[in-house]
Amino acid sequence: TMHTMAKVKNSTLAIGDIAEPAEREIGEQQVVDAASQLVANTQAEADELINLYSADKKRVNVVNPGVDLEVFNIGDKTKARKEFGIPQDAIVFTFVGRVQPLKAPDVLVKAAHQFIQNNPQLKNKVRIVICGGLSGTGFDHPDSLMHLVKELHLTENVMFLPPSTREKLAALYQASTLVAVPSYSESFGLVAVEAQACGTPVIATNVGGLKTVVADNSSGLLVNGHDARTWAEALSQIALNEELANRLQIGARQHASKFSWDKTVDGLVAVYEKAISTPTKTIRNLKVI
């Protein structure tokens, strides 16, 4: 099973991020060459395996990851907001994930600032929740996100939360007006599925697996690029349009139901059975790096 492949990540690096080393690319190529069967999270990732790693089409299978639809479910928004100390009338923009350039939480902060600039009367109602810990490359200045928050005078609007349990995450999604996934690269986008399973619309970058995980204008919105004004407009479409927000909330849960654990298990079992019947390949000069 491939996930966040080096050649894909290196082709879409965020500003300040560091490229994956050549050793990783070589190792991934060895895995592709040696595997009896390969599992891609989405068709887009399958195409990348074929085009970037010359994988045999006959050995590439698409199996979407799934989420626990019993844990990630529509809940009581009032109760959820009380749990996090969020005002009931707040407009809540949430980011969940590793705090690193690749995941681009700064894009949400900048977009929320632009949203407030466009709607100054709502400044006291806006809450920006960043849930996750520092991870990955590109952190010469690990406090850069906090500095950005201070620079944009959003200290009173932003809430930083540490990585949380599944149950806590479900409550956070339920408390949110929307969840933003502004990644530069995403092989799938599990956060987007979890949020939608809780009936929360998602705004995501139109890249990689997010194009599969988010149904544009049905369960959320897909945004091209990372321009703050463009993202602020997407925030406004959901936060200020109750009719659209309600429609996306319904569509979010419906779309997320396609990504259950049961469906993932069935797909993987089918691939394993195929692998058992596939003649074993002999790969010469295979080295562990």
Residue pLDDT, tens place only, 262-280: 999 999 999 999 999 877 6
Calculate the average pLDDT of the chain. Answer: 92
Question: pLDDT band at residue 8, thresholds of 50, 70 and 90?
Answer: confident
Instruction: Calculate what percentage of the chain has a pLDDT beyond 90.
Output: 80
Higher-confidence residue of 24 and 174: namely: 174
Contact between residue 194 and residue 169 where contact means Cβ atoms under 8 Å apart: yes
d(CA 31, CA 33): 5
Tokens 């895995």 correspond to 31
What does the block give as tokens for 95?
Answer: 């980011």
Looking at the structure, do residues 45 and 138 belong to the same domain, yes or no?
A: no
- The verdict on 249 and 267 lying in the same domain is no
User: Same domain, yes or no, for 212 and 248?
Assistant: yes
CB 14 within 8 A of CB 107: no
> Are 149 and 245 part of one and the same domain?
yes
Is there a single domain that holds both residue 239 and residue 99?
yes
With a cut of 90, say whether residue 90 has pLDDT above it.
yes
Q: Which two tokens stand for residue 260?
A: 């259950």
Res. 15 pLDDT band, cuts 50 70 90: confident
Chain centroid offset of residue 274 CA: 30
Q: Are residues 156 and 215 in the same domain?
A: yes
Give the tens place of pLDDT for each residue, 115-164: 999 999 999 999 999 999 876 554 445 588 999 999 999 999 999 999 99
DSSP character at residue 216:
B
Per-residue pLDDT at 107 exceeds 60:
yes
Residue 162 lies in a domain: yes
Give the tokens for residue 158: 């932003």
Tokens of 188: 């799938």
Q: Give the contacts of 268 (CB within 8 A, at least 6 positions apart).
A: 39, 63
Average the pLDDT over 62-82 and give the result: 97
CA distance 74 to 272: 33
CA distance 100 to 17: 8
The pLDDT of residue 96: 98
What Cα–Cα distance (Å) separates residue 276 from each residue in 37, 133, 150, 270, 271?
9, 39, 56, 10, 9
Amino acid 5: pLDDT: 84
Residue 70 within any structural domain of the chain: no
Confidence (pLDDT) at 284: 47
For residue 71, pLDDT beyond 90 = yes
Whether residue 212 is contained in a domain is answered as yes
Looking at the fold, whether 269 and 249 belong to one and the same domain comes out as no
Q: 8, 28, 27, 10: which is closest to 19 by C-alpha?
A: 10
Q: Which domain holds residue 47?
A: 6-64+261-276
